[in-house]
Chain A
């Protein structure tokens, strides 16, 4: 297995994933992370952050040089948890590999908001391995602002059996930032549903990547899995790469994915401007609306508010 963690721990650059690895074709760490920084436990101080109420907050500080971190969390059967995972930015060039295990018991509900803030020079990989028990509900929203290389990966082991998963996400990228949202939704048993909506915006020389694989195993009949990725390119030097994937081994299924890449609708822009809204404002308004749909899908109000504030900050970055 290649991976950032393996490379950091073994001090072996060749184990870094790179362009030739199918799942990392657009997130080349090998070409970026040389020489490998030294791994240490030292972390950067955490910036002030208003913790929303009624929410469990986990903050993951940025390493000073390079670091690997683990955390696990489980939601007991029948319980409900609102969780905010904040991947903190820190400063400078650092490399971070974060591995998070999440387990949901039978009938448990987890609303998870991931705010992925990294520094512009960071190489940062956040991997969540989520395992659902029958009847569990998992709602996740990932908001990302990119780094030098930023990858947020969510793998869900979905048992079917009435469990529901919703993986939403948005990336808002300016300057030369890169962000990669990768999801792997593995429907392993009959009767499961999943839904994904990812929206992305890339301005300047930024690069947004989305990869979403839905697999439906033999026997996972009655699966209903849907995925949508919509991206906007705001500059001719920005790039969007997408790979929505379906891998289906059961026949009694309804699976669909959709992908669009485009730019702000010129007619709509004109319409807004004809009402007196200056172009920059009109663009931001439309971008905000585009990403706003993701925020509005977040159920618990404290999480939604935190998400809205995070997006508002990033829109300011896009204004520049």
Chain B
């Protein structure tokens, strides 16, 4: 599904990602762990197409298509979804309006029919209920006045409705209380399927207890310095990143 080959990315002329290679087959869940400032968010922003993240070398393809050549909206229409580490507030645009606009824009781009308001509302209600979200909250400006945890839940809410194929979760677990972590993880697990891949960025093993990864990668100083099975996350939890400081 996703192939990243020797990717180099600079932000404000500063190289952050320095030769990153990663292969994420369809249907698999990979976790990315790594010290603060390693470049994890930079990788996710680059994959989503944020301006200012300048690709200076390498490639990233989604099902063989050059991801890096597309604008963010086109990537989303192809199924890329980034759950932001710090979701933004959009005053004046109710969450429901926002998601419906996004969903129909994506469908339009894919040549699919729009989803009408009643059908959308039905789906939204069901999703909100599954994520234990107050439906009335969805009528307020997107994320405005939401707590950190509520914002993260809103990301998963959007994800569930947009049904992307490549899910990038950037520290979706941080800021969640214990119950929320379970609910959000269940939401994510519900989306696991054959044709869907996930990149789960996290600092904590805890999340991986819920969302069992197929593989775990260590990202340090802009590169993948180690890869392994789920046991690698346990090892990191015990021993930290010291070992990889030199490898980087």
Contact = CB atoms under 8 A, between A and B. Distances in A.
Interface of A: 265-268, 270-279, 281-282, 285-286, 288-290, 292-293
A312 to B, nearest CB: 14
A272 B92 contact: no
Contacts of A267: 88
Interface string B135-155: 000000100000000000000
B50 A270 contact: yes
B190 interface: no
A275 B98 contact: yes
Contacts of A289: 90-93, 141
Interface string B203-222: 00000000000000000000
B229 to A, nearest CB: 31
26 contacts: A268-B89, A270-B49, A270-B50, A270-B72, A271-B84, A271-B88, A271-B90, A274-B73, A274-B76, A275-B81, A275-B98, A275-B102, A275-B106, A275-B162, A276-B73, A276-B105, A276-B109, A277-B76, A279-B71, A281-B105, A282-B73, A285-B101, A286-B90, A289-B90, A289-B92, A289-B141
A271 B151 CA distance: 13
A265 B90 CA distance: 10
Contact of B92 (A273, A279, A290): A290
A292 to B, nearest CB: 5
A293 B92 contact: yes
B158 interface: yes
Chain B interface size band reads 20 to 34
A293 B94 CA distance: 12
B50 A276 contact: no
A282 B93 CA distance: 11
Interface string B57-80: 000000000000001110111001
A272 B77 CA distance: 12
Given A270-B72, A286-B93, 15 more contacts: A267-B88, A268-B90, A272-B90, A274-B49, A274-B50, A274-B81, A275-B99, A276-B102, A276-B106, A277-B73, A279-B71, A285-B101, A288-B92, A288-B93, A289-B92
Contacts of B9: none
> Which of B92, B102, B162: most chain A CB closer than 10 A?
B92
A62 B177 CA distance: 62
A264 to B, nearest CB: 11
A172 to B, nearest CB: 14
B51 A266 contact: yes
B200 interface: no
B48 interface: yes
A270 B101 contact: no
A276 B92 contact: no
Given A279-B73, A286-B90, A274 B105 contact: no
Contacts of B84: 271
A271 B71 CA distance: 12
Nearest to B158: A275
Contacts of A271: 84, 87-88, 90
Interface string B32-50: 0000000000000000111
B77 A276 contact: yes
B167 interface: no
Given A279-B71, A279-B73, A286-B93, A274 B88 contact: no
Nearest to B75: A274
A292 B90 CA distance: 12
Given A272-B102, A275-B158, A285 B76 contact: no
B82 interface: yes
B91 A274 contact: no
A256 to B, nearest CB: 20
A265 B89 CA distance: 11
Nearest to B77: A276
A44 B79 CA distance: 53
A273 B93 contact: no
A166 B82 CA distance: 42
Nearest to B45: A270
B162 A276 contact: yes
Best-buried of A272, A285, A292 by chain B (most CB within 10 Å): A272
A267 B103 CA distance: 20
A272 B90 CA distance: 9
Contacts of B51: 266, 270
A290 B89 CA distance: 13
Contacts of A265: 88
A289 B91 CA distance: 7
A279 B51 CA distance: 13
Contacts of A285: 93, 98, 101
Contact of A276 (B76, B90, B91, B141): B76
Contacts of B109: 276, 278
B165 to A, nearest CB: 12
B241 to A, nearest CB: 29
A272 B106 contact: no
A278 B103 CA distance: 11
A274 B91 CA distance: 18
A137 to B, nearest CB: 25
A187 to B, nearest CB: 30
